[in-house]
């Protein structure tokens, strides 16, 4: 049980750490119509000293968030320090174009790398640790299913099966906590356990899914109406705003997430499918070099089996269904600890009840 507890708690901490950057973004307080993306980039470039080109722009997902302009590291920096410096992000108010601050983007530090290794391999050598954690995931799936069978109430006891009885003590308290927590968290627990098995055994898991469901997916050609193409001022020199406009016109029911600026004339525009939260399987549209959509990768067009596999990955990381799902994934990491404590206490109390009384107590008085 201890390995499963370590996997769960380390996963919760990882979810917390990956949520912190979004929680500490500087506030964009100006009100009004947002400026063009090109204007935001120009403001960031003017405020940034030293060499470095803009790699990408991250678009605000809600009111009050800044636009993030990501610069690549200066020439030679990445080679000199490949494990740390990955560039700078400048935060810009999209309405006033005020610079709200900047930060150096760095790769995961020693603590996060250790935490990740603990979660995916329990600090064991790569292959063997990953395999062991994968089998722990299989065990967690079996625990969830068998726990539901053991929890299943007898006739007439359903009303008391979903919570903790008022005034419960000892064995009853631990049993109610164990059962109620297991029932209400079962869906999240099984999704995370199954997706963990997928991450540990991707080929085997994909083959299992493919045996019962189609796994078709691929790249589609984008189409644009003539009016959209005609609205581009200079098709031979697309701006970042042109790329965003063309991508949104070609992909229905999606919102802009980020734009990767071209190294060779083609923009990569990332979009989020509506109505899902951030981190849902992203749509990628490749725009350019002229007023055209070169290709679109849209997980919504995948076959059912392929969509299941894609969604399992993002759900495991706490993404896709908004902040509520992230919180549920964070809390679920502590479930093995709760189940371990309550299960041990139930065993301990039962064992104490079965132990015979000392001879001095049961001996008849003379």
Q: Residues 33-58: pLDDT tens digits?
A: 999 999 999 999 988 876 678 899 99
Would 142 be classed as within a structural domain? no
Q: Which residue range(s) make up the domain with 277?
A: 226-301
pLDDT bin (cut points 50, 70, 90) of residue 358 is low
Q: Average pLDDT, stretch 155-183?
A: 87
Of residues 160 and 181, more confidence is placed in 181
Q: Give me the number of domains the chain comprises.
A: 2
Burial class for 168, CB neighbours closer than 10 Å (0-12, 13-18, 19+): middle
Identify the helix (H) or strand (E) that includes residue 95: none
- Of the chain, the percentage scoring pLDDT greater than 90 comes to 49
Angstrom distance (rounded) from CA 263 to CA 160: 63
Asked if residue 360 has pLDDT above 60, the reply is no
SS3 364: coil
Tens-digit pLDDT profile for residues 277-298: 888 999 999 998 888 888 999 9
pLDDT at 146 (0 to 100): 92
Asked if residue 129 has pLDDT above 80, the reply is yes
Asked if residue 331 has pLDDT above 90, the reply is yes
pLDDT at 94 (0 to 100): 94
- Of 111, 133, 168, the domain-final residue: 111
Would 123 be classed as within a structural domain? no
pLDDT at 365 (0 to 100): 47
Label the pairing between strands 283-287 and 293-297.
antiparallel
Q: Average pLDDT, stretch 348-361?
A: 70
Q: Of 37-51, 320-334, 347-361, which has the strongest mean pLDDT?
A: 320-334
pLDDT at 241 (0 to 100): 93
Would 90 be classed as within a structural domain? yes
Query: Taking a C-beta distance cutoff of 8 angstroms, is the pair 249, 229 a contact?
Result: no
Q: Average pLDDT, stretch 271-280?
A: 89
Q: Which residues contact 126 (CB under 8 A, 6 or more apart)?
A: none
- Of 94, 111, 128, the domain-final residue: 111
Would 59 be classed as within a structural domain? yes
Angstrom distance (rounded) from CA 211 to CA 121: 28
Angstrom distance (rounded) from CA 48 to CA 42: 10
Would 18 be classed as within a structural domain? yes
Would 263 be classed as within a structural domain? yes
Would 319 be classed as within a structural domain? no
pLDDT at 106 (0 to 100): 75
- Of 255, 280, 301, the domain-final residue: 301
Would 175 be classed as within a structural domain? no
């Amino acid at each position: 049980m201890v390995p499963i507890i370590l996997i769960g708690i380390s996963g919760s901490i990882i979810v917390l750490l990956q949520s912190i950057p979004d929680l500490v973004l500087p506030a964009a307080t100006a009100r009004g119509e947002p400026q063009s993306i090109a204007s935001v980039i120009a403001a960031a470039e003017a405020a940034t000293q030293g060499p470095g080109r803009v790699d990408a722009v991250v678009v605000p997902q809600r009111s009050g968030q800044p636009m993030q302009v990501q610069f690549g590291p200066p020439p030679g920096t990445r080679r000199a320090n490949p494990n740390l410096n990955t560039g700078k992000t400048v935060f810009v108010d999209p309405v006033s174009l005020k610079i709200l601050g900047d930060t150096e983007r760095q790769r995961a530090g020693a603590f996060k790398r250790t935490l990740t290794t603990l979660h995916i391999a329990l600090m064991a050598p790569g292959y063997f640790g990953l395999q062991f954690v994968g089998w722990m995931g299989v065990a967690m799936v079996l625990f969830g299913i068998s726990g539901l069978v053991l929890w299943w109430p007898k006739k007439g006891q359903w009303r008391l099966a979903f919570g903790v009885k008022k005034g419960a003590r000892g064995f009853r308290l631990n049993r109610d906590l164990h059962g109620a927590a297991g029932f209400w968290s079962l869906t999240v627990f099984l999704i995370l356990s199954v997706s963990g098995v997928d991450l540990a055994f991707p080929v085997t898991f994909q083959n299992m899914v493919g045996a019962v469901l189609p796994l078709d997916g691929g790249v589609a050609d984008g189409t644009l109406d003539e009016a959209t193409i005609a609205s581009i001022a200079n098709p031979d020199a697309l701006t970042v705003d042109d790329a965003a406009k063309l991508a949104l016109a070609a992909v229905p029911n999606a919102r802009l997430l980020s734009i990767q600026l071209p190294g060779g004339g083609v923009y990569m525009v990332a979009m989020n499918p509506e109505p899902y939260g951030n981190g849902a399987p992203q749509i990628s549209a490749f725009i350019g070099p002229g007023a055209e959509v070169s290709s679109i990768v849209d997980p919504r067009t995948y076959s059912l089996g392929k969509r299941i596999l894609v969604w399992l990955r993002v759900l495991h990381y706490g993404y896709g269904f908004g902040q509520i799902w992230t919180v549920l994934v964070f809390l679920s990491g502590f479930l093995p600890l709760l189940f371990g404590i309550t299960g041990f206490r139930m065993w301990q109390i039962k064992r104490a009840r079965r132990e015979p009384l000392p001879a001095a107590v049961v001996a008849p008085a003379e």
